[in-house]
Structure 1
């Protein structure tokens, strides 16, 4: 079913949906950005279509809805533990094709990476329906086309924003909400076909140990400051650590949380006894890069990176991951010729 409907009609539908769903979309948060008096665009709950930021890339990905930055797994006392109460509402997320493909990577990691599923991720994931925001132009740092992440069919509904809204509804459960709110029309969402940034990917079968020891990684030892911003804005980074929080009122009571971690951050590889791997920042860049465009591809048949470009946007040292990939590809090509 495809409809042309007014913003007022769409807001009416959102009001009905909010009885059953929490609805998330990119929103503008005033004056809490990277620099003084700048805004940030990240995911938050909405009640009206006018709250959705459609003309800017969100600085953070929607993964924090499915994989929270900090998540209480259970509460404990001296004698027992219990899990938090589950929120009964389902979830709708407005997001672009690259981020839907990012969730595909998270699904692979949390649900299909071995015989056991991550039950905490699964509990949230099974509640989610995607409203795909049509994206035909992209943004300055995007390279989703190169990563084959510019298209998807995995959505409950697709939307084109304008003075009026065009909506394709594929989910049977949503059709009843939108039925009668607009005029039927012909609408099939379009996808971006070319980015300004182009990435050439290496042949993973041609990557050798020499690449891991190449001097190119020394550049990142000098430039990277290990802030971890690239990890945390990435739509596919999925590493986490555990924290036990003990309450001041009773040191025997508290909660266990899992918290985002990242391969660029100090302490990520620390072990008992004080030993740590990859203390050199260039080694961390190498580890992340080769995981995104080599290891994951060998295991699963597609690359982990989706080309959203958020890591390029957020880096305070202006390190470009897309440039890094192209450097790797050039080196692999040169090794193949030699």
Structure 2
């Protein structure tokens, strides 16, 4: 089993419970944040996941730290600061579970994490580093993200990048395309939505092919309940995810990428092995599993609480007649 480090923001999702009879909309707190969700997804499935990030010394920071630990994520690389508060995201849901966000960030504690907060020992064994674009929104944290990616690559780690654009977190109101592209060129595994692909490609039909030529081994383009498109250095294809009644899409993408990373970690598919692995017949089985994890999360409320464990994903797949391989559980000592 490879070690997995998910770096970036952990924040509190204030999730709408709706309004009843004209009463004011109400919100309930849930632990969240894309890289934190991915770490929990890996851990719940039986993987060895660490979260690396900064939390505020406040009630929300302690809530997140305890939730990460309770869901099996290792918190050795979590740091606390009194210089900023933990970030909040208010999430409203429409009738089909799609989200709109209002972020209370910046300022926020996660933006104050620095490279020296992650010790050199973090990268001593082979592993996978997972990042998202919300740690690129300001110059300081963007520089740290690039430094950590370089440290991971220098130690032979596989780098996973979920684009996960939240334009309203960027100072200009839209994501800085140049910064995101710079990180895309350093990632082995890239996951983005159809809308994110359209934004970044700017109409270039060769955009994905260019990413593959620049070094990406696998590019995944999700599109909600519509087919997933995948592209590798040796092939391409599509896969229809399981069709479910959507309740809340808050962590569906993170569940998908967490399921994928878990499978890679369990099969010990790191940076040195991924291209040979992609030439085998394993990819489609793993993608079916990852899609089932995403559908599982979309069918439930919340972020951490909607992510599957071994028992629930087996039951979920069986109920939908969704066939996928589930590797034997194996944990680091």
Higher helix proportion (structure 1 or 2): 2
Which of structures 1 and 2 has the larger relative contact order (alpha carbons within 8 angstroms, sep 6+)?
1
Higher strand proportion (structure 1 or 2): 2
TM-score (norm 1): 0.24
TM-score (norm 2): 0.25
